[in-house]
Structure 1
Amino acid sequence: MRPIYIVNNYGQTNHLIKRMLRDLDIEAEMIKNDTPPETVRDECRGIILGGGPTLERAGYGFEYVDLGLPVLGICLGLHIIATRRNGTVAPGTMGGFGGVDVEVIDNSGILSGYDSNIPVWASHADEVKKIPEGFKLLAKSDICPVEAIANEEEHIYGVQWHPEVAHTQNGKLVFENFDRITRENL
């Protein structure tokens, strides 16, 4: 079976995504965000767009969203998805990294198995301000109205928080759900 590709967008926790997937026995490879889109399309079964500093350093990340593969965006990865699909991203009111209690509105799909509230670790320097057409809101918080979104028809998902870090409660569920989604859509 082809691996899931983790796109390194120069974020400080991208290596933790790979480690968590390895610990879950999910085959994954980290790639640079300048890997040609046709290579990505032909060699993997799903894409995780990792975090990073800015949209300007996202490389081919925007194009990966349109390859017809399941996509999971984490933090900057969410912003790549939203921007590519004509949503809006702008500075958040809280900034920096910290703990946040997220309210889950829809605990199916990528958030299957979660309770109605999740303590997570997130950066809110930038946030999705307008959800792209065709996407639905999955989660929100008191400081950020868009914590998670999904276009389930295209199997594209994004979360503002970092499920790969220890401070996020049961973050592995996001990755297990994404693995299941990629297997169901081979």
Structure 2
Amino acid sequence: MAVGILDFGGQYNHLILRRVLELGFRGSFLDPNEPVDRIRQSFKCLIISGGPWNIPGDLPKTGNAINYILEFPGPILGICLGHQLMAYAYGGELAAGYPEFGGVRVHVDREDTILRGTPNSFTAWESHNISVVKPPRGFEILAHSEKVPIEAMSNEALKRFGVQFHPEVRHTEHGLVIMRNFLELCR
């Protein structure tokens, strides 16, 4: 199954592709300006990567990302910037003042599809200035940290999942479990 990875030039994007391949899936990077119809025809699921921008100020730099999030029929995992874009697209609230860098303790509030098999808390790798502070309607909060109220969220009916941290980075405990759980939705 082909996994599209929306590439915003984030520092860990190459690791997303590496993890997808290691877990037995095909993957390729996508330009954020690709037409939604082409994406819909070519991929079973999408990963919206991290990147250097802040939402909503840098929204124009993200190309068609909001359209992908709202219109793509398959599962989507938003990582860091992708998590923030997903929250923004569906009406969640973002705020500055909750930066996290390096290893952060994440506490699982609700084990769902993507957090299945993870412990009640684990260390995750973070690199962000903007955070999701209120989930969109229909999304459930899955995890939080001491500073950030929404480290992970999901809307299983829409097949939308977001994590503020980087599961693709080896410093994130159980990151491969989280990636595998998402990718199993792509079969």
What TM-score comes out, normalization by structure 2 length?
Answer: 0.93
CA apart distance, 1:97: 2.0
> Sequence identity of aligned pairs in percent?
37
Conserved in 2, the CA contact under 8 Å of 1:62 and 1:84? yes
Rounded Cα–Cα distance in structure 2 between residues aligned with 1:123 and 1:143:
13
CA apart distance, 1:10: 1.7
Rounded Cα–Cα distance in structure 2 between residues aligned with 1:177 and 1:137:
17
* Alignment length (residue pairs): 181
Q: For structure 1, list consecutive stretches of 5 or more residues without a partner in the other structure.
A: none
Q: Tell me the residue number matched to 1:22.
A: 21
Q: 1:157 aligns with which of 149, 161, 186?
A: 161
Conserved in 2, the CA contact under 8 Å of 1:92 and 1:144? no
- List 4+ stretches of structure 1 deviating above 3 A: none
Q: Tell me the residue number matched to 2:105.
A: 101
Secondary structure of the residue aligned to 2:84 is helix
Backbone CA RMSD of aligned residues: 1.1
Q: Deviations over 1:86-130 (max 9, x none)?
A: 11111133x252110100111220111101011100123110011
Rounded Cα–Cα distance in structure 2 between residues aligned with 1:170 and 1:149:
17
Rounded Cα–Cα distance in structure 1 between residues aligned with 2:159 and 2:100:
29
Q: How does 1:46-65 map to 2 (within 5 A)?
A: 46-54=45-53, 55=55, 56=58, 57-65=61-69
Secondary structure of the residue aligned to 1:69 is coil
Secondary structure of the residue aligned to 1:65 is helix
Rounded Cα–Cα distance in structure 1 between residues aligned with 2:68 and 2:118:
28
Q: How does 1:27-176 map to 2 (within 5 A)?
A: 27-54=26-53, 55=55, 56=58, 57-66=61-70, 67-93=72-98, 95-176=99-180
Conserved in 2, the CA contact under 8 Å of 1:92 and 1:126? yes
Rounded Cα–Cα distance in structure 2 between residues aligned with 1:92 and 1:16:
28
Secondary structure of the residue aligned to 1:161 is coil
What TM-score comes out, normalization by structure 1 length?
Answer: 0.93
Q: Deviations over 1:16-61 (max 9, x none)?
A: 1001111111111111111111111111000000001114221111
Rounded Cα–Cα distance in structure 2 between residues aligned with 1:65 and 1:92:
26
Rounded Cα–Cα distance in structure 1 between residues aligned with 2:86 and 2:139:
10
Q: Deviations over 1:120-166 (max 9, x none)?
A: 00123110011100100000011111100000001100000000111
CA apart distance, 1:76: 0.2
